[in-house]
Structure 1
Amino acid sequence: MIAWPGLYPPVKRLLDIAASGTALVITAPVMGVVALTVRSRLGSPVLFQQLRPGRDGELFELRKFRTMRAGAGTDAERMTDLGRFLRSTSLDELPSLWNVLRGDMSLVGPRPLLPAYMDRYTASQARRHHVRPGLTGLAQVRGRNALSWEEKFASDVEYVETMSLATDVKVLFATILAVVSRRGISANDSETMPEFLGTADSVAATSPERRS
């Protein structure tokens, strides 16, 4: 049973507006320094911008600081020392506060992933799009990229079912601890998370043999 049929969703939105607006003002000097550093080390563009699905699958343009060199190659080959530092400290996420202020995202919620994944989710996993995606979420404080995709999606669906002010406060405090400890930045065998190709159930449901 969904735990938030009452007043919390609009309250959550008001809190997102207040918190993201305040954070944008406070972190403006830091973002200025990061932007200049990225520009001098990696060149233009300073921001990484990419379409991601939000609530109900509606696409929006996510903004983050760029962490990789342009060109071909694997994530590990294109990742820079500056990029690793920005990711480990979550400084690359600061421009996403603008997405929160706009209403594309929330402070807490399932992380926004690639549009290509939408058709690869099981019916249960797709429920992660019943709420706005977040800067952080249960999956991030439980292990971030050290978790498997299935573990991440289970945490996302759990959040959808239990969303509350108490849960959000706990996640935000746990996020601070996770950032300080720099836990789960990379997957076990990849610089970032490997591509999600679908779970056994979702792959079987969409295979040509099953569709026929």
Structure 2
Amino acid sequence: PGKRRPPRRVWALALLALILMLSEGVAYDWSVLHVKTVLDAPAATAALAYGAFATAMTLGRLLADRVAARYGPVFVVRYGAGLAAAGLTAVALSSWVPLALAGWTVFGLGLSGCVPQFFSAAGHVDEDASGANVSRVAGLGYLGMLAGPAIIGPMTAFMPLNLTFFLPVAFCVTAVFTAGILRPPAPARAAVSPAPARTRA
């Protein structure tokens, strides 16, 4: 028998993981360079951008499971990606170093809980192929993180670095409006014929 093709929902989850992990990669690769070259901050100050992002990301990941258990994965991604978009927009538009550092912090906090929700959802699409589906989503997601420099780098030939950040902002906004895919499909209901009404003798 041939292998079962993964459901389209798995590939949709993988694509969303890709664009959000690409967005994460922007902070890993460009946050320090942005504060140093665009805002002309000293190297020691610029290093705080990555530190702020990574700290917020770590703290957010520690809290994300609790928030998802209480409010659901759609809530985590919708509001998390929205928060990330707001933070990175502040980074892109700010000419003030403290505001940019705050923006990188908010960006990390917002993104922190998003990607794990896609991994979890992939594992529940098909219980018989949960490992393979999680691997597909994770693999495509990490491809996005690796692709970040290859995408953002060439864009800097045509525009300032801070303006390239509007691409991951757009990706985060996309996640806001597509977070509903994390809702589990309604279980198929067996058609039940109505019971005949009882009649009194």
Give yes or no for TM over 0.5.
no
Q: TM-score, normalised by structure 1?
A: 0.28
Between structures 1 and 2, the one with greater strand share: 1
Tell which structure's C-alpha radius of gyration is larger: 2
Between structures 1 and 2, the one with greater helix share: 2
Q: Which has the higher contact order (CA 8 A, sep 6+)?
A: 2
Q: TM-score, normalised by structure 2?
A: 0.29
